[in-house]
Amino acid sequence: MDAHELIQKWRDAMNEGRLEEYLGYYAPDAVLETPLARVEGRKGVKGYDGSLASAFPNASLKTSSIVVSGDTAAVEWIYGGKHTGPLVLSSGTIPPTNRSFSMPGTSILRFTPEGLIAKERRYYDTRSFYEQLGLK
């Protein structure tokens, strides 16, 4: 499977709530870095993205641009939904605000020779995210 196809399947699995399939696109020792956390391994990715899925169960990830060069891809996306569940962060738990958000961002993905995600760096504006949820 080429990188474009993997990214589309990764996005679709996330959007359809198929967390185990989604995690299967990451290497067992993958690293995920975001403005809020750095996690390692599929278990770490599951903890981070599982928390988002619980807090925003109707969220969707829409990709707008995918550029691939060698073992690296840049993916522009918009992630949005409604905050209806508790959001568990390392700094504490944020109760549901019942507010909607739309957050543009970019993921830089590096792939293993087997075609799995070895490293993902997500870039997005946390201030805008918190403001849309009515948080300070």
Q: Please report the domains of the chain, with CATH numbers, ordered by start residue.
A: 3-132 (3.10.450.50)
Predicted confidence band at 91 (pLDDT cuts at 50, 70, 90)? confident
pLDDT at 124: 95
> pTM for the whole thing?
0.92
Q: What is the mean pLDDT of the chain?
A: 95
Predicted confidence band at 89 (pLDDT cuts at 50, 70, 90)? confident
Predicted confidence band at 54 (pLDDT cuts at 50, 70, 90)? very high
| Beta-sheet strands, E only, within the chain | 26-33, 38-40, 60-69, 72-82, 87-89, 92-94, 100-111, 117-124
